[in-house]
Chains A and B, each alone.
Chain A
């Protein structure tokens, strides 16, 4: 499938426009990401955020092979533009609900790499205290609500977060990330209906990476135009090139603005691709090498680098600087996780209910 219906036409670089708007707009929450920076610094931020995810996960592969981290690990490599672009449109007061493929969302949301890596190690310093692991990253202080590994399970929960905001008259957005596979679950459709019916401030960010485990989009959906189907619930819905971080950001800003203005839920179909297997256990037999290579040619990181180089926004030194920073950050995260304490077994029954070390 080609991203032929993408709304964005390549050249008109979204970032500077958005930056100007944010600086003058009433939406103060948006300025946190952009305040006082020249336009180029924003692209640098996007690039750095994507590279942080990429390098973090590449390290995870090594650590998994070395048996330092365990469980199911689902990599986001190839999809970085989605988490980073959407996050740019969100403010710290907004809420994010993610899936089990959420390292990218967590890092883009600003959860420190150290806290995420420690969680992968199952250490007490992890963002879920070692109880959750790769699939269950949480950070209440950043309104990051999962880390859910039941496909589509986060969607109704996101509707509830949005409902609470609506009932209290708060102009915040709840963003729920989910896959094309999740779109087939009743929970997606029930949530979309509820959100539209109640005019909830919900951003439905569908990461269409063309596969649900080994099942290709066309083998799981009778109608593969997901944006069109979402639109049938009466909400604005459009498809975006998910390999172009600036296009994602632009679309997400448009959606977030609509949501903040009270026009109810919005749906984005972010057309992307995972370069790696579904999880570390997946032999990846269901898709061809050529297909993977075709998509790798559209690597969102390389694409932004090329765009920035063309526009004179990025020199070799700048790039080396960014690479150095994220590599250091990941190195430090691994070091810290290695040193971090494991929770004593005596504490096993903590966090079952809020008040107790549980009854037996």
Chain B
């Protein structure tokens, strides 16, 4: 890792990749600072920022009180004044206390000021279920944020993206929200040196295929890849698209894939109603209607606050078996 890195690949986790990205950002630019609840002494509630306080000091790795609205708003103000804040909110569930600042200030100041006040701010938070944390810690609300004009919404699903998305996010003159799925932090993999900087405008095809497109992002990507393996064993060639940027959506990559496969399954851990999956379905209907050989399938979370009990939680969430079934419905 690191900039002048070795050519050979190194084993790392998603968590370490994220930390390395933060370290690089803090080193690269004096204006960058990290702030949020327990990012310093505690090391981040998911251990992402462990050690950064020691390296950069409490001014630049700044513990905040439990005051989401205040410290997110302060991040916006600091960005207006020329700093490059990275604000961490523990989880998307708690971001709702700061939703007013994100929506009514961060996303709108540029427009309301007639272009005078850009907000170069990065907000990171975790999202998603799967660890029996019950309703108030498990929801996937990134689709709500993707609804808002004026911000960019990212969902790094791979170790590479965890490592290399932050720099272009910081380079963006507008607010960028990064959603990290809680189940990904322990993912281990080889981190290859990047071929090119992460392109925040385009989705990535994680596995090419010809029979069906599985469109997903974030924590559902591993499940979609598993489903694609299973489908391959049955002779069905599934293309797996990782959206990686939820706003703006990469219509072109989606449309090109549909034109190749003519069948689509969208996998989204949010609730089906009014979800990002709904938006993507609508766009496919608008742009690729005559390419479709089957109705668009959606695999989403059940319309229930996520339950604690393990079986029920599993049943509420999209699983690779559900993706395989949906693909069968589309292909048969």
- The answer to whether A and B interact is yes
A residues near B, CB below 8 A? Answer: 70-72, 122-123, 128, 130-133, 135-136, 148-153, 181-182, 184-187, 212-215, 219-221, 282, 285-286, 342-343, 345, 348-349, 351-352, 358-360
B304 at the interface (CB under 8 A from A): yes
B136 & A135 in contact (Cβ 8 Å cutoff): yes
Instruction: Tell me whether B303 is interfacial, beta carbon within 8 Å.
Output: yes
Task: Answer whether A150 and B41 are a contact pair too, CB < 8 Å, given A343-B312, A348-B307, A349-B304.
Answer: no
Tell me the bound Cα distance from A151 to B38 in angstroms.
14
B38/A136 in contact, CB under 8 A: no
Are the C-beta atoms of B41 and A285 separated by less than 8 Å?
A: yes
Q: Which residues of B contact A213 (CB under 8 A)?
A: 37-38, 42, 45
List residues of B (295-320) whose CB comes within 8 Å of A's CBs.
302-305, 307-312, 315-316
**B132 proximal to A (CB < 8 A):** yes
Query: Chain A: interface secondary structure?
Result: loop
Segment 57-71 of B: residues with Cβ below 8 Å from A: 63-70
What are 21 of the A-B contact pairs (CB < 8 Å)?
A71-B132, A72-B137, A122-B308, A123-B309, A130-B308, A150-B136, A151-B66, A153-B136, A181-B65, A185-B68, A185-B97, A186-B67, A213-B38, A213-B45, A286-B42, A343-B312, A348-B302, A348-B316, A352-B305, A360-B272, A360-B302
Known contacts A131-B312, A132-B308, A345-B312; A214 and B134 CB within 8 A of each other:
no
Give Cα A36 to B310, complex, Å.
Answer: 46
Whether B133 contacts A215 by the Cβ 8 Å rule is no
- Cα distance, A149 to B312, chains bound together (Å): 20
Cβ-neighbour of A214 out of B38, B133, B135, B305 (below 8 A):
B38
Q: How far is the CA of A139 from the CA of B313 in the complex (A)?
A: 22
Across the A-B interface, the 4 shortest Cβ-Cβ residue pairs:
A214-B42, A133-B308, A122-B309, A184-B65
CB pair B303–A215 under 8 Å, yes or no, is no
Residues of B close to A150: CB separation below 8 A: 93-94, 97, 136
* A356, B64: Cα distance in complex, Å: 42
CB distance from B118 to the nearest CB of A (A): 27
| Docked-complex contact B134 and A215, CB < 8 angstroms | no
A122 adjacent to B66 (CB under 8 Å)? no
Q: Is the CB of A342 within 8 A of B311?
A: yes
Q: Which residues of A contact B38 (CB under 8 A)?
A: 213-215
Contact string against A for B residues 37-48, beta-carbon threshold 8 Å, 1 for contact and 0 otherwise: 110011101000
Q: How far is the CB of B132 from chain A (nearest CB, A)?
A: 4
Q: Which residue of the partner chain A has the closest CB to B300?
A: A360
Q: Are A352 and B309 in contact, with the CB atoms below 8 A?
A: no
Q: How far is the CA of A187 from the CA of B98 in the complex (A)?
A: 12
B308 lies within 8 A of A358 (CB): no
Q: Which residues of B contact A122 (CB under 8 A)?
A: 132, 308-310, 312
CB pair B43–A285 under 8 Å, yes or no, is yes
Q: Is the CB of A182 within 8 A of B305?
A: no
Q: Does B131 contact A (CB under 8 A)?
A: yes
- Chain A neighbourhood of B64, CB < 8 A: 220
Are B308 and A71 interface neighbours, CB within 8 A?
yes
Give complex CA distance A348, B308 in Å: 11
Residues of chain A lying within 8 A (CB to CB) of residue B304: 348-349, 351-352, 358
Bound Cα distance A162, B45 (Å): 34
Which residues of the other chain, B, contact A220 by a CB distance below 8 angstroms?
Answer: 63-66
Q: Please report which residues of chain B, range 20-35, place their CB below 8 angstroms from some CB of chain A when the two chains form the complex.
A: none
Give the residues in chain A near B68, CB-CB below 8 Å: 185
Contact A131–B134 (Cβ < 8 Å): yes
Inter-chain contacts of A151 with B (CB < 8 A): 66, 94
Nearest chain A CB to B308 CB, angstrom units: 3
Q: Which of A131, A132, A148, A282 has the most CB of B within 10 A?
A: A131
Instruction: Report whether A215 and B308 are in contact in the complex, using a CB–CB cutoff of 8 Å.
Output: no
Beyond A136-B308, A150-B93, A352-B305, 11 additional pairs, beta carbon < 8 A: A70-B310, A71-B134, A133-B308, A133-B309, A185-B68, A215-B38, A215-B63, A220-B66, A282-B42, A342-B311, A345-B315
| CB-based nearest B residue for A346 | B315
